[in-house]
Amino acid sequence: MKFLKAFVILFLLLGSVKAFAQTSDELKRQREQLDQQLEKLRHDLEETANNKKSTLHELNLIKAKIQLREEEIKNMNSQIRLLDNQISDNTNTVHSLQNQLNQLKKEYAAMVLFAFRNKSAYNKLMFVFVAKDFNQAYKRLKYMQQIGAYRERQARYITGTQKDLNNKIVELDKNKKEKNTLLADQEKQKATLGKEKNDQDQVLKDLSHNQRQLKQQIAEKQRKARALDRMIIIAIRKDKEEAERKAAAQAAADAKAAAAKAKAENRPAPVVVTPKRKTTSEALEATPEAAKASSDFLGNKGRLPWPVAAGVITQNFGVVYTDGIKDENNGINIKTSKDATVRAVFDGEVSLVGDVAGTYTVAIRHGGYYTVYSNLRTTSVSKGQKVSYKQAVGSPATDPVSGDYEVIFEVLKGESYQNPTSWLAPK
């Protein structure tokens, strides 16, 4: 039973080690991706810094870099916690194996001592011959053989346990070294984060000295954002009106058919109930097909692909105040490369292809939801076209201030803007 328990403990331990390895590998992959994005932003900032005047774009790049740096520090904290758990588990295992080894050695020493005292072949023969009958003699002979086999197994268990103990000690030492390396890297990252926050403060200070330029930059950005917002809302309301028109036509047809049937059966015509006014998303989900499209889209929240294969978020969703000036973003700005392809994140139907200040916008309907792809240089879809998952919808245009290639991605439920980051799969 002791050896069975030991085997079960080792089996469970191996399972936990495997799970730890999978989680650790995943965290390491995430950290590598964060490193790549940070390196890209560092290069972009170096190019931007050549411009003697601080810009809102430079500030956004620094903010994005700080956010990635904080994510990397958080990632390292998770790795350290995992290592702490593994060190604790390995320490307990080392103690357990050491106790088990000591017990095995003690039992083996007792067996060796007993065998030494009874090593005489005469004593062994006498033990067999003094049996009451042949059956008892046979059992005593088998018993002696089993003792010999048990001693051999005990020796193998001792050797195996000693090997497991040595392996665990090596693994424990490796965990401790890895933790020390991570702690040292984390301190470097924190120091770099402090420097980046100082850089952010300096850019903010420079922008504060030239508030007129900053206000102009934000005002121009907000002007385009409002124009884009109006165009999207108008397109959604048209879809809603069309959905309501079709629903009303269907309801009228159903009422007419019900009245005709009642007349044929010599019954009073059913009373037509005026339907309750629906919200935009409810009206858009009125048909079974639209309701299913909404359900499928919602079911993939947090798992949608990025609208570009490679990119870095330079401005997040929501309201940000820069030196007291309000800057609101209904989506996320993703910096990407010149040759990037902007792609649909889910199956749907193109509801809008429009022009805003010289760049294109594509809106795709997914039942009661919409995804919007703005600041496009070119488009490859048309209104009413069915599009599939990851199908190309266009190519990114440049940001007028920085010259970087950038796409703006938005998600709406009806007329309500959602935070796109919560819909996209983590990188």
Q: Which two tokens stand for residue 57?
A: 């774009």
pLDDT band with cut points at 50, 70 and 90 for residue 427 = confident
Read off φ and ψ for residue 132, nearest 5 degrees: -70, -35
The whole-number pLDDT of residue 369 equals 96
Q: Are 420 and 345 in contact (CB under 8 A)?
A: no
Tens-place pLDDT, residues 85-120: 878 877 887 777 777 777 767 776 776 666 655 554
The whole-number pLDDT of residue 353 equals 94
Tens-place pLDDT, residues 354-403: 998 889 999 999 999 999 999 999 999 999 999 999 999 999 998 766 67
The whole-number pLDDT of residue 332 equals 93
* pLDDT above 70 for 264: yes
Q: Which residue has the higher pLDDT, 165 or 356?
A: 356
Q: Which of 136-150, 215-229, 344-358, 413-427 has the lowest mean pLDDT?
A: 136-150
DSSP state of 303: T
* pLDDT above 80 for 420: yes
In order, the DSSP letters of 224-289 are HHHHHHHHHHHHHHHHHHHHHHHHHHHHHHHHHHHHHHHHHTT-PPPPPPPPPPPPHHHHHT-SHH
The whole-number pLDDT of residue 404 equals 80
Q: Are 370 and 364 in contact (CB under 8 A)?
A: yes
The whole-number pLDDT of residue 12 equals 45
The whole-number pLDDT of residue 419 equals 95
The whole-number pLDDT of residue 14 equals 46
Burial class (CB in 10 A: 0-12, 13-18, 19+), 81: exposed
The whole-number pLDDT of residue 18 equals 46
Tens-place pLDDT, residues 13-46: 445 444 444 477 777 776 676 666 666 656 665 5
pLDDT band with cut points at 50, 70 and 90 for residue 8 = very low
Report how far Cα 172 is from the mean position of its chain's Cα atoms.
29
Q: Which of 47-61, 75-89, 167-181, 297-311 has the lowest mean pLDDT?
A: 47-61
The whole-number pLDDT of residue 390 equals 94
Average pLDDT over residues 125-153: 65
* pLDDT above 60 for 1: no
The whole-number pLDDT of residue 122 equals 43
Q: Which residue has the higher pLDDT, 6 or 184?
A: 184
Q: How far is CA 261 from CA 257, 258, 267, 268, 269, in A?
A: 6, 5, 8, 10, 8
Q: Which residue has the higher pLDDT, 312 or 10?
A: 312
Q: Which domains does the chain have, with CATH numbers?
A: 2-209 (no CATH), 241-287 (no CATH), 300-422 (2.70.70.10)
The whole-number pLDDT of residue 352 equals 93
Average pLDDT over residues 295-299: 95
* pLDDT above 70 for 149: no
* pLDDT above 80 for 238: yes
Q: Which residue has the higher pLDDT, 269 or 245?
A: 245
pLDDT band with cut points at 50, 70 and 90 for residue 294 = very high
The whole-number pLDDT of residue 37 equals 66
The whole-number pLDDT of residue 83 equals 77
The whole-number pLDDT of residue 45 equals 53
Model confidence, pTM: 0.60
Place of tokens 């010999």: 148
Average pLDDT over residues 60-73: 81
Average pLDDT over residues 288-295: 92
* pLDDT above 60 for 10: no
The whole-number pLDDT of residue 43 equals 61
The whole-number pLDDT of residue 275 equals 64
3-state secondary structure of 53: coil
Long-range contacts of 352-357 (CB under 8 A, 24+ apart): 352/231, 352/232, 352/235, 352/383, 353/379, 353/381, 353/382, 353/383, 354/231, 354/235, 356/224, 356/227, 356/228, 356/231, 357/224, 357/227
